[in-house]
Structure 1
């Protein structure tokens, strides 16, 4: 491990941050990276930290399918300037190593927020597997707190944006898992404001709608839960020509169930939205 001592503590921000706008350095004094090419090269190295990234891949990240004849030389210049930035920061041992066909950015376990995020998620999954949902939910929260917005927001390279979109999907999957756990723990009232905001941001996400319906229903707000369903149904029909999937429809029927049977608490049913919407 090529990391100088002392290392940051658990509460210190990672030196490299890609879960939001690209930043390097201390949170209170991030080092400026003004050149778009430098940012795209660094982002590609960070997305593949501790692995060889070929020069061809870096060229593709910066210029796509129409690189200039000087692309290879410009990548070398970007690498040189990034090395200078790291040396200026006192973190020169977080080195960019030259390999025969490319470069490797060497990092430690706490140096990249994506690494820390995935480490906390893995710990949450282990807690969940051993039957400790409260600890798992807390670890998921810790992981999600590392995010400062959409991954690598502000960068325009096609390859970078594609990778960032996959990270955003990873974030959403973790958020959904954490919400599901908190519903099981009976924290439905506390979840309603958060879920209301998430459904407003992602109105076509059936799982989020189902979680909001469940949280409202279990908070004694049955009518609002049914309104949430109708809004989702109308939005799916208007924008996509689809109707809700089977599980979201089943959740609505469970909330409407008048006999107080087992279906009366849909919060204990399987999470909604796995089967996806159907054609209207």
Structure 2
């Protein structure tokens, strides 16, 4: 049964059963499903669902309201089940409600797995495999997740996925720069810098792509723009890796040309704006 289900969280929340789109019901019922999907394969206590879905003011009869939404989801997720037959996909255990679907049924889980595989392949020097993995992962992204869902739980989950997408975009760009695709990357990087203005690694990649495309003046202008933004908004200077790239562009360092070693921060150095290493999925709020 669960193998016939497919869910999308990376953009508008959608679901299919055996290829047929499902009506997931009202907003709170969809939010309950989202909490269960983020913990697919792990039980979630009812009280934690209440706190995640009603963060500001829980209903007086919150446990009964969750039970009502779970009943609605059971009808949606097992449309062919007889009312007298026990549910198999969404069950109640001693530890809470458990959504029994494989990780590959949820696009967010496939996205995270693909990014992790890409980064592992890149670290091992399997660049073609890494590029294929990260490109396939990014194709799953259809828009910002959990729009319309408020509260700390969904904000944390949303932020984590957006950060992971930024890591994936940077990883793909680094691989494509190493493959000599700098000319075709400039336009995309300009758009990404506008979307993520303080991610220093993207600024580094934009400057490098411009320099390798013979557009040194624009590369230097991109540095000045970013340095001005940091000073005006945060009172800080660009990180050491970006300052070093700026100096090397000024002196026309031949090692920056395509085909040279990949340009990246030194061992142990972090890019300004980078997230922490990919964090685990957020737990539902404690009771």
Q: Structure 2-normalised TM-score?
A: 0.83
Q: Report the equivalent of 1:262.
A: 255
Give 1:93 shift.
7.9
1:171 equivalent to 2:165? Answer yes
Give the superposition deviation at 1:45: 0.4
Q: CA RMSD of the aligned region, Å?
A: 2.7
**1:94–1:137 distance in 2 versus 1, CA, 3 Å:** farther
Is structure 2 residue 275 aligned with structure 1 residue 276? Answer: no
Flag the structure with more relative contact order, 1 or 2, with Cα contacts below 8 A and sequence separation at least 6. 2
Match runs of 1:96-111 below 5 Å: 96-111=90-105
Aligned to 2:13: 22
Q: Of 91, 104, 121, which residue of structure 2 is paired with 1:127?
A: 121
Is the contact between residue 119 and residue 171 of structure 2 (CA under 8 Å) also seen in structure 1? no
Distance 1:34 1:241, change over 3 A: farther
Deviation at 1:84, TM superposition (A): 0.7
Native 8 Å contact 1:40 1:157 kept in 2: no
CA 1:194–1:140 in structure 2 vs 1: closer, same or farther (change >3 Å)?
same
Give the direction of change, closer, same or farther, for the CA distance of 1:204–1:229 in structure 2 (3 Å limit). same
Task: Give 4+ residue runs of structure 1 displaced > 4 Å after superposition.
Answer: 26-29, 263-267
Task: Answer yes or no: is 1:221 the counterpart of 2:215.
Answer: yes
Change (3 A) 1:135 1:150: same
Q: Shift in Å at residue 200 of structure 1?
A: 1.1
> Aligned pair in 2 of structure 1 residues 59, 223: CA closer, same or farther (>3 Å)?
same
The match for 1:209 among 203, 210, 214 is 203
By how many angstroms is 1:223 displaced?
0.9
Give the direction of change, closer, same or farther, for the CA distance of 1:98–1:27 in structure 2 (3 Å limit): closer
Q: CA deviation at 1:208?
A: 0.7
Secondary structure at the aligned position of 1:243 is classed as coil
Kindly tell me: are residues 126 and 178 of structure 1, through their superposed partners in 2, closer, same or farther at Cα, counting changes over 3 Å? Answer: same
The whole-number CA distance in structure 2 between the counterparts of 1:267 and 1:114 is 33
What are the residue-to-residue correspondences of 1:215-254 with 2, within 5 Å? 215-254=209-248
Question: Matches of 1:34 and 1:60 in 2, distance apart?
Answer: 20
Q: 1:129 to 1:194 in 2, by over 3 A?
A: same
CA–CA separation in structure 2 for the residues paired with 1:89 and 1:106: 17
Asked if the contact 2:208–2:256 (Cα under 8 Å) also holds between the matched residues in 1, the reply is: no
Deviates more, 1:92-101 or 1:182-191: 92-101
Q: Which runs of 5+ in 1 are unaligned?
A: 8-13
1:193 equivalenced with 2:184 (yes/no): no
Structure 1, residues 59-90: CA drift from partner, whole Å, max 9, x if none? 11111253122111000001000111112388
Q: Distance in 2 between matches of 1:60 and 1:177?
A: 36
